[in-house]
A and B are shown apart, each in its own frame.
Chain A
Amino acid sequence: MEALTEKNTNQTPSKPPKNMSPWAIARRKFVRNKLAMTSSVFLLIVMIASFLAPYITTVDISRVNLGQMSLPPSSEHWLGTDKSGRDVFVRLLYGGRVSLLVGLACTFLIVVFGTIVGSIAGYFGGVVDSVLMRFTDFILNFPFLVFVIVLNAILFGHLSGVWVLIVVISVLGWGGVARLVRSKILSEKENEYILAAISIGCRPSKVIIKHLLPNVLSTIIVQATILFATMIVAESGLSYLGFGVPTEVPSWGNMLSTSRDPDVMQNMPWTWIPPAIVLTLTILSINFIGEGIKDALNPKSYR
């Protein structure tokens, strides 16, 4: 018996090919989802093109060129030029940079802050929960648009252009995520493996980070993709209204806002149709990806 024990324990276990983590199973399901994969590829191209914009083109985006005002698309300017003589295609690339940056940064900040607040409130419960959740309700009660405009005005000059908007949206936007995470944690912590984690000596921080969050992460990821799309729309909407990123910075929203001019709207469709299409497609693909992740992480769906 003893010899047997020795022999068996000294063998290092060889890694068998078939031990799929829940994440690996989800990844496989996602890869098989054609719509989600097509969307991912599209989004990836948009992202790469946007973030590599300075390397793709060397045109100065801020310079006004009066000699090339309002030109329709041609071989020199693929998508024409706008009223200030700036190349629309180049601005589209740089605009994607800003729009995607705002979307990603807001999503990141909102998810991180909302998850911290939500998981602490959900795990500890009681007074901690009441205080944090009342604070969350307080934030959720702010009229979003009014506060964005006011905070934008206050912060303007303290932070550089785009970051004002990012901070403002994030500060006002984390309430929903906090609530969602809290409710998920509340139901997840009833499982016996949480009691087991406490019993084997995990500190509360470890219980939350190692045991609770990985099991609610699927919900958070799905929520994050939806948020990403929402934040891009928010940026565009605010910029269109003139309260978003400063007008000299190109963003898809700012480009769209030129169509407020009836002349541009009617006679220069090449300046506002491309950003509208790219914006729509980007948001659509993000939503398809979110849908795909949701399906992939749902153990009950088989595709």
Chain B
Amino acid sequence: MNITINNENSMTAKTKSKKNLLEVKHLKTYYPVKGGFFRRTIGHVKAVDNVSFEIRKGETFGLVGESGCGKSTTGRTILRLLSPTEGQIIFDGNDITNLSGNKLREARKDFQMVFQDPYASLNPMQMVGDIIGEPIKNFYPGKQKKEIKEEVMDLIFRVGLPSDAYYKYAHEFSGGQRQRIGIARALALKPKLIVADEPVSALDVSVQSQVLNLLKELQDEFDLTYLFIAHDLSVVKHMSDRIGVMYLGNLIEVADKHSIYDEPLHPYTQALISAIPEPDPDRKKERIVLQGDVPSPSNPPSGCPFHTRCPMAKEACSEIKPKLKEVKPDHRVACILYD
């Protein structure tokens, strides 16, 4: 146990000095709302509204927030599976915001995704070997079949699938094994960044830890950087080096994991942390219960997006939209209380 803690600490220290692999600047992704006779755009769902953060090489950046807050949209926009409305995505020094066609296709080699639903994310008509081998075929069309198969067998073994998986179909596997297939597919191109979009939320708790540990092992082995999206706070704590908290399309707090869990600054983060179940029944915790519901992202409240539910809201909160500011070293928060 001691060893792992030391390991984690040294990792955090190591990553601090490293360069940024991904920079997201003022990213906005709006979904148009169409209506009327000619299907004109009559409004926008502001799924991601002015989000800026960076991910350092080799670290795991956790993105948390309740459902519908724009976590997945952020992840998908970064991978350019959705087109951003505004803002910039700089990956490994290159601006990938406006790439399209073949250039975008080429760029995809370096960033891959592990999907949320292990049932919907694998083509039911393909054999597992073909699923994992397809990215290699796409990017190295000259490669020999035998070579590809060897690589696929390596991957199948590496993610802990049985060796006869090659000729099987996805429906013959359990949820956890399917997620391993998805991980192997994402690894096939040896990417630099993997966006893991709630990779374990569809799995049994007993299987969750296996998949999480696999992801951690692979990170060391393949020198990966993760953007880890989740709504389960204990999972994020286990996985991440730094954490960003999202609320209604906005990033409201970014800090390393210890700061977030030990001294959360934003009232929303405080409420989230207080909601983590405490395994020790003798230790009583103060639970902050938020009132009301999340406002609609198509009609977000004025000022601070959280002021409608914030226990510490002031009058000014409904007028001024706070910006993400560094209030402590490496700890940024968007709240009027810390201005």
| Chain A interface residues toward B at CB < 8 A | 5, 8-9, 11, 13-16, 19-23, 191-193, 195-203, 206, 211, 214-215
B115, B124, B127, B163: the one within 8 Å of A195 (CB):
B115
* Residue in B closest to A191 when the chains form the complex, CB atoms: B120
Distance A135 CA – B108 CA, assembled complex (angstroms): 35
Is the C-beta of B316 less than 8 angstroms from some C-beta in chain A?
no
Query: By the criterion CB–CB under 8 Å, are B124 and A196 in contact?
Result: no
Distance A183 CA – B164 CA, assembled complex (angstroms): 37
Distance A14 CA – B166 CA, assembled complex (angstroms): 10
Query: By the criterion CB–CB under 8 Å, are A200 and B169 in contact?
Result: no
**Which chain B residues lie closer than 8 Å to A200 at the CB level?**
108, 112, 134-135, 138, 185, 188-189
Distance A210 CA – B169 CA, assembled complex (angstroms): 15
Query: By the criterion CB–CB under 8 Å, are B105 and A21 in contact?
Result: no
**Which chain A residues lie closer than 8 Å to B139 at the CB level?**
201
| Contact A19:B167 (CB < 8 A) given known A195-B76, A200-B185, A215-B125 | yes
* Residue in B closest to A198 when the chains form the complex, CB atoms: B81
CB distance from A13 to the nearest CB of B (A): 5
**Which chain A residues lie closer than 8 Å to B314 at the CB level?**
none
Is the C-beta of B79 less than 8 angstroms from some C-beta in chain A?
yes
Query: By the criterion CB–CB under 8 Å, are A201 and B105 in contact?
Result: yes
Distance A203 CA – B134 CA, assembled complex (angstroms): 12
Distance A286 CA – B172 CA, assembled complex (angstroms): 33
Distance A14 CA – B150 CA, assembled complex (angstroms): 14
| Chain B interface residues toward A at CB < 8 A | 76, 79, 81, 105-106, 108-109, 112-113, 115-117, 120-125, 127, 134-135, 138-139, 150, 153-154, 157, 163-169, 171-172, 182, 185, 188-189
CB distance from B248 to the nearest CB of A (A): 24
Distance A22 CA – B126 CA, assembled complex (angstroms): 9
Looking at chain A's contact residues, the main secondary structure is helix
**Which chain A residues lie closer than 8 Å to B105 at the CB level?**
201, 203
Distance A247 CA – B163 CA, assembled complex (angstroms): 64
**Which chain A residues lie closer than 8 Å to B106 at the CB level?**
201
A13, A192, A195, A214: the one within 8 Å of B164 (CB):
A13
Distance A5 CA – B160 CA, assembled complex (angstroms): 11
* 8 pairs, CB–CB < 8 Å, chain A vs chain B: A22-B124, A22-B169, A192-B117, A192-B120, A196-B122, A196-B185, A200-B135, A200-B188
B121, B123, B125, B150: the one within 8 Å of A9 (CB):
B150
* Residue in B closest to A13 when the chains form the complex, CB atoms: B166
Distance A11 CA – B156 CA, assembled complex (angstroms): 12
Distance A62 CA – B109 CA, assembled complex (angstroms): 66
Distance A198 CA – B115 CA, assembled complex (angstroms): 13
| Contact A199:B108 (CB < 8 A) given known A15-B167, A19-B167, A214-B125 | yes
A9, A14, A23, A199: the one within 8 Å of B81 (CB):
A199
**Which chain A residues lie closer than 8 Å to B108 at the CB level?**
199-201
CB distance from A57 to the nearest CB of B (A): 45
Query: By the criterion CB–CB under 8 Å, are B123 and A211 in contact?
Result: yes
**Which chain A residues lie closer than 8 Å to B112 at the CB level?**
199-200
| Contact A201:B109 (CB < 8 A) given known A16-B167, A214-B125 | yes
**Which chain A residues lie closer than 8 Å to B171 at the CB level?**
22
* Residue in A closest to B81 when the chains form the complex, CB atoms: A195
Distance A199 CA – B135 CA, assembled complex (angstroms): 9
**Which chain A residues lie closer than 8 Å to B169 at the CB level?**
19-22
Query: By the criterion CB–CB under 8 Å, are A215 and B153 in contact?
Result: no
* Residue in B closest to A211 when the chains form the complex, CB atoms: B123
| Contact A192:B172 (CB < 8 A) given known A9-B154, A201-B139 | no
Query: By the criterion CB–CB under 8 Å, are A192 and B121 in contact?
Result: yes
New A-B pairs, 12, CB < 8 Å, besides A199-B113, A201-B108: A9-B150, A9-B154, A13-B163, A13-B167, A19-B168, A20-B169, A192-B116, A192-B120, A193-B121, A196-B113, A196-B185, A200-B108
CB distance from B100 to the nearest CB of A (A): 12
* Residue in B closest to A217 when the chains form the complex, CB atoms: B125
Distance A21 CA – B115 CA, assembled complex (angstroms): 23
